[in-house]
Chains A and B, each alone.
Chain A
Amino acid sequence: MTANNADMPLSFGGKTFRSRLFTGTGKFASGALLREAVLASGTELVTMAVKRLDFQGHSDAILPALKDLPVTLLPNTSGARTAKEAVFAAHLAREALGTDFIKVEIHPDVRYLMPDPVETLRATEILAGEGFHVMAYCGADPMLCLRLARAGAAAVMPLGAPIGSNQGLTTRAMLKIIIAQKEAPVVVDAGIGLPSHAAEAMELGADAVLVNTAISVSRDPVTMARAFAGAVAAGRMAWLAGPGAVSGEAHATSPLEAFLRDTDGDLS
């Protein structure tokens, strides 16, 4: 890259991230596969849920699989239905892990898992006030993203499509506005189903993307993780390079008129 478009690492919450691909931990067939995929993705920020242990049944403990990896752990409040529950989950995460990073996820609706904007804003206000680095999962609502940033969110995480749906950037027009007027880093989260979707988000100017399902449910998660890493890097590079304008008309890439004049005599 030239000096003009050399990238700066992404920083928030006192941490610096060279990779702009963040990943989740859900739906992997095993801890070993998760670990391999995380390594292949090059991610430096990995999210996992705070949950009550099930002493009766299967333990789905996640931290042993991530032990000693060069990643920042991002607990999330998945399962919380209200701001109060999310704040409680954040306090548990801080007590258990000693971290101030928290991804606020409040989605009481079980069918579409749409984040509740009112509860999310309330939780963000409270937790940011307590010194947490809040990453707020939210709808792709430009005004809400501004309000979350002004409430102290370290980053806003607007969705591309419903969680785990692999639909891609169905909220593309709103994401463009969110990015254009951002006051906190924008991490496009949820719905990214293919590396091309991740590249598209980065080409729009997103600061990072968070991908889970698209990697974990693919036939070969480790290779898919690598594909996402390449797509995110390519999309970021394209954003830095400054994409050309879109036009409704054709624009020749060589001087057509001169060619026609030169050959006119030969053809008649």
Chain B
Amino acid sequence: MKIQLNGVPADTEAGTLRELLDTLPDLPEHYAVALNDEIIPKEKLSAAGLHEGDTVEVFSFMAGGAC
């Protein structure tokens, strides 16, 4: 199934967001996930089904900002 993962086309066999995240290397300890621009709480990742054409974005914390 083809999805968009953080802006890049990806092919995945994962049926849920949880399964998709478990395939990712270097997933940081603290992260948040948006499925089609909607933030999915951690406790609902296993129930969030993936579908063809979905847009998944995974966010975390990086150095920087203003100042």
Interface residue SS majority, chain B: loop
- A97 to B58 alpha-carbon distance, docked (Å): 14
Are the CB atoms of A210 and B67 closer together than 8 Å? yes
- B6 CB-CB contact with A under 8 Å: yes
Are the CB atoms of B7 and A95 closer together than 8 Å? no
- A127 CB-CB contact with B under 8 Å: no
Contacts of B28 in A (CB 8 A): 53, 59, 61, 63-64
- By beta carbon, the residue of chain A nearest B26 is A59
Give the Cβ gap from A51 to chain B, nearest Cβ, in Å.
4
Give the Cβ gap from A138 to chain B, nearest Cβ, in Å.
11
Residues 2 to 24 of chain B near chain A (Cβ within 8 Å)? 5-8, 24
Q: Which one, A60, A63, A75, A105, contacts B66 given CB within 8 A?
A: A105
Contact with B along A63-103 (1 / 0, CB 8 A): 11000000001011010000000001001110111000001
Most interface-central of A27, A48, A189 (chain B CB within 10 A): A48
Are the CB atoms of B66 and A78 closer together than 8 Å? yes
Q: Which one, A48, A63, A76, contacts B29 given CB within 8 A?
A: A63
- A26 CB-CB contact with B under 8 Å: yes
- By beta carbon, the residue of chain A nearest B29 is A63
Are the CB atoms of A96 and B30 closer together than 8 Å? yes
Give the Cβ gap from B54 to chain A, nearest Cβ, in Å.
16
8 extra A-B contacts, CB within 8 A, seeds A53-B60, A92-B34 = A24-B67, A49-B65, A51-B60, A51-B62, A52-B59, A55-B8, A59-B26, A137-B66
Cross-chain pairs A/B with CB under 8 angstroms, 14 sampled: A50-B59, A50-B61, A51-B61, A53-B28, A55-B25, A55-B58, A62-B62, A62-B63, A63-B61, A76-B65, A88-B39, A91-B39, A190-B67, A212-B67
